Amino acid sequence: MSEKKSAVPAAAVAPETPAAEPKKRRSSGAAQRRGRPPLSPEVYVEFGTNQYNITDVIERAKADYRTTHKVGVQSCKVYVKPEEGMAYYVINKVSGKLEL
């Protein structure tokens, strides 16, 4: 019989425990996307019989910038002129050019 008496007060204490602890919320954006890598589109330009992958041109422009500068890339603009076969870039206010 003493077991039944001790079980009743334990049940009365249980509802107070969750109310005393505040619930933590999950951040909506970062926690859900943690497992997936960001989407990186592949962009192509076709001119005449040639096809250029713009993603590769951007990476080549960044690599060209990094060979002469040790500062990280904070802004990057790439201008593609397929009729000239050239890509011009401006990275961190420094300009350069690449052959396509």
pLDDT at 14 exceeding the cut of 70 = no
Higher pLDDT, 70 or 34: 70
Which parts of the chain fold into alpha helices (H)?
Answer: 2-13, 16-20, 30-33, 54-68
pLDDT band at 24 (very low <50, low <70, confident <90, very high): low
> What is this structure's pTM?
0.59
Contact 73, 82 (CB under 8 A): no
What does the chain come to in residues? 100
pLDDT value of residue 7:
53
- The string of pLDDT tens digits covering residues 54-93 is 999 999 999 999 998 888 889 999 999 999 999 999 999 9
For the chain, report the end-to-end CA distance as a whole number of angstroms.
Answer: 88
